[in-house]
Structure 1
Amino acid sequence: MSCLPDSIQRVLVTGGAGFIGGAVVRRLLRCSAVEVFNLDKLGYASDLSSIQAEVEQLGGMAAGRHHVLQVDLVDQQATAEAVRRADPDLVLHLAAESHVDRSINAPGAFLDSNIIGTFSLLQACRGHWDALSAVRREVFRFQHISTDEVFGSLGASGYFSEATPYDPRSPYSASKAASDHLVKAWHHTFGLPVVTTNCSNNYGPWQFPEKLIPVVILSALALKPIPLYGDGLNVRDWLHVEDHVDALLLVAGQGKTGASYCVGGGGEGGGCDERTNREVVESICAILDQIRPQAEPYSHLISRVNDRPGHDRRYAIDSSLIRKELGWSPSLGFENGLRQTVHWYLDHPDWCQQMLGRS
């Protein structure tokens, strides 16, 4: 069964060597017959090993359908050439610098990648779309994948939704907000058929070890201090990466042109997977106590560190629009998803050591 309409034959995925992009590429290779063009600059957090493993497992099903294009989107000429080569029916734009701490220390790279890179891609896709036949113009779609962080910070109650005003608080979220606005402007000004999604915190296998969950798992396994920002009471809404991929491909095939969809693990309309950072850290420690016990509980390694500047207090998404309009809902609760994720990191020590060497 295909995960996309039969009219979509060629898909360009930007950032396809990243955490979420890699999950999208693997799914496309596994559940469709499309040609996948994986555009990635292959930076420090890029990794193709998960896709290579999928291709080997699928064998003939994936043979020759995955094409890597090593391109930095800031390079407008190279980007335009990559789009010409891919000749896509669908563009899934996931490429972005995404680590908030790095954006605080070196914001320039985030403006280049997330703003200028998105501009370059939009211009290339606009030229591509203009040149398509009438039939293919009707099929083509540019899908922009963004974050709930563009909406700022919530208080103790309420949820982000498609109607929430933008209020970014970090260089990362400001650069993503700018990219969202560019995508919407290219739709309204030039008619480019676009759709946008804003997701909550993703987790799962193959996540580069600079984000909270892999940092905690690998610090605990190494019996090193587990860093916890501030009082640990910042709240996040957690979404397993495979549930996110379900949502992205559903929006690609059935979402309304020009629309935005918020995608979260919980929120109004169906359950809630909000957790404080302390709760997440303590849950990981409890899982490790069960499956790889030490003389002392892993929680004794938790160490408070100075809070991140401008640290948003709470994120939570109301996913009711995508639930009602497209029938999506997350299939994996946080407890089960987290346990599976911990097991995955335990089962892949060589990959973890390789990635830690890049941090």
Structure 2
Amino acid sequence: MKRADIEGKRILITGATGQFAKPLVAAYAGRAQVFAAARYGKEEDRAEIAAMGATPVRIDLSDPASLETIPEVDYVVNAAVAKTGDFDRDLQENAEGVGFLIAKCRNAKAFVHISTTGVYAYEGLAPRKETDALGDNHRSMMPTYSIAKIATESVCRFAAKTYGVPTVIARMSVPYGDNGGWPWYHLLMMQNGVPITIHPEGPNLYSPLHVDDYVEKILYLLGAATKEVVTTNFGGSQAASVEEWCEYIGELTGFTPIFQKDEAAFGALSIDTTKMHSLIGETKVDWRDGIRRMIKALAPDTLKTAA
């Protein structure tokens, strides 16, 4: 395993105001010169990023001309995503956008593109390998998401190989932590008595990835980048089901999950971690500890006294 040394280097992080990328900006800004790229439609977002010690850079991946504001950088983490539901717009911004971004950053030492396990076809409960079939997994809730992500991976490979940029495509599972994530939304649903939709073929297993782990492991992904382009799963080393973590949230808070079975739900999407572990090692945060910390950070009043 090889860990990229970002100390004093110049690193571009796109989607910088999003739930996934903002912690990266906060964690790396004290160690590297971070250029935090986003649309910055709100001035308070720009101010927050600047307060972290990063340099806000306004870009729009649907507008290649806007990328001229990006300086020369050593490393790139592309966490930008468009999921408007409009196919033309989402394919342009995601797929074409990553191609233009790699062309602009063609001198980077390494490029990490954050993809999703949502590119995999639903095939029951077996953990997904990187070689497994792809499909339109998320159409029931996000009609453009899986197709746009699959297209983006293809353009990413083409552009990286064309320009000789060492690249990793990381198919991420469920990111969560003190800043929220899917389990946080489930807590809110439980608190308000809203049914949680799950696939009838349970348990609905995923590989939740705590923010502490991905902040550490992104550096190993950068270190694993090659010009042949590496595609790997990226999630927690432990699998946990939606049913399991909702029941645990219930133990901590006293809220009761209401599960509603629906064939249109996503279904299990846990990952085979074999390749991931060979590249970046195992993750450290137990999902129970991570969820307890999340609730303590975001809704401490909901915790039982003994939790």
For Structure 1 versus Structure 2, the TM-score category normalised by the shorter chain is: 0.7 to 0.9
1:342 Cα deviation after fit: 1.1
1:119 Cα deviation after fit: 2.8
Render the CA deviation track for 1:99-125: whole Å, top value 9, x for unaligned.
xxx64xx55543343223223313322
Residue from 125, 133, 144 that aligns with 1:156: 125
Which letter maps to 1:212? W
Residue from 167, 176, 183 that aligns with 1:213: 183
Residues 6 and 148 (structure 1), Cα distance of their counterparts in 2 relative to 1, 3 Å cut: closer
**Cross-structure match for 1:280:** 245
1:162–1:260: 8 Å Cα contact kept in structure 2?
yes
Task: Tell whether 2:68 aligns with 1:114.
Answer: no
Residue from 75, 82, 104 that aligns with 2:63: 75
**Cross-structure match for 1:314:** 268
Higher helix share: 1
Task: Tell whether 2:37 aligns with 1:39.
Answer: yes
Which letter maps to 1:39? A
Render the CA deviation track for 1:59-99: whole Å, top value 9, x for unaligned.
xxx4xxx11112211111011x122xx2111111110136x
**Cross-structure match for 1:178:** 151
Render the CA deviation track for 1:302-346: whole Å, top value 9, x for unaligned.
44568484x3321111222232244x2111011111111111111
Q: Structure 2 CA distance, aligned partners of 1:245 and 1:6?
A: 12
Which letter maps to 2:176? Y
Residues 40 and 174 (structure 1), Cα distance of their counterparts in 2 relative to 1, 3 Å cut: same
After TM superposition, the score normalised by the length of structure 2 is 0.83
Residues 154 and 241 (structure 1), Cα distance of their counterparts in 2 relative to 1, 3 Å cut: farther
Residues 153 and 231 (structure 1), Cα distance of their counterparts in 2 relative to 1, 3 Å cut: closer
Which SS does the other structure have where 1:316 is aligned? coil
Which SS does the other structure have where 2:131 is aligned? coil
RMSD over aligned CA atoms reads 2.9
Alignment of 1:9-28 (within 5 A): 9-28=9-28
**Cross-structure match for 1:188:** 161
Task: Tell whether 2:112 aligns with 1:143.
Answer: yes
Tell me whether 7-16 or 227-236 shows the greater mean CA deviation: 227-236
Alignment of 1:48-87 (within 5 A): 55=52, 62=53, 66-79=54-67, 81-83=68-70, 86-87=71-72
1:188 Cα deviation after fit: 2.8
Question: Which structure has the larger Rg?
Answer: 1
Task: Tell whether 2:82 aligns with 1:97.
Answer: yes
Q: Structure 2 CA distance, aligned partners of 1:149 and 1:172?
A: 8
1:49 Cα deviation after fit: 8.0
1:22–1:50: 8 Å Cα contact kept in structure 2?
no
Which letter maps to 2:157? K
After TM superposition, the score normalised by the length of structure 1 is 0.72
1:255 Cα deviation after fit: 3.9
**Cross-structure match for 1:229:** 197
Larger relative contact order (CA 8 Å, sep ≥ 6): 2
Which letter maps to 1:198? R
Aligned residue pairs total 291
Residues 82 and 306 (structure 1), Cα distance of their counterparts in 2 relative to 1, 3 Å cut: farther
Which letter maps to 2:174? N
2:119–2:150: 8 Å Cα contact kept in structure 1?
yes
Render the CA deviation track for 1:181-204: whole Å, top value 9, x for unaligned.
111111333323222111211111
Residues 97 and 306 (structure 1), Cα distance of their counterparts in 2 relative to 1, 3 Å cut: farther
Residues 307 and 51 (structure 1), Cα distance of their counterparts in 2 relative to 1, 3 Å cut: farther
1:36 Cα deviation after fit: 0.4
Unpaired runs of 5+ residues, structure 2, are: 303-307
Render the CA deviation track for 1:31-56: whole Å, top value 9, x for unaligned.
x2x11000011369x95687567x3x
Which letter maps to 2:159? W
Unpaired runs of 5+ residues, structure 1, are: 56-61, 130-138, 267-271, 290-297, 350-359
1:11–1:89: 8 Å Cα contact kept in structure 2?
yes
**Cross-structure match for 2:217:** 247
Between the aligned residues of both structures, percent identity stands at 22
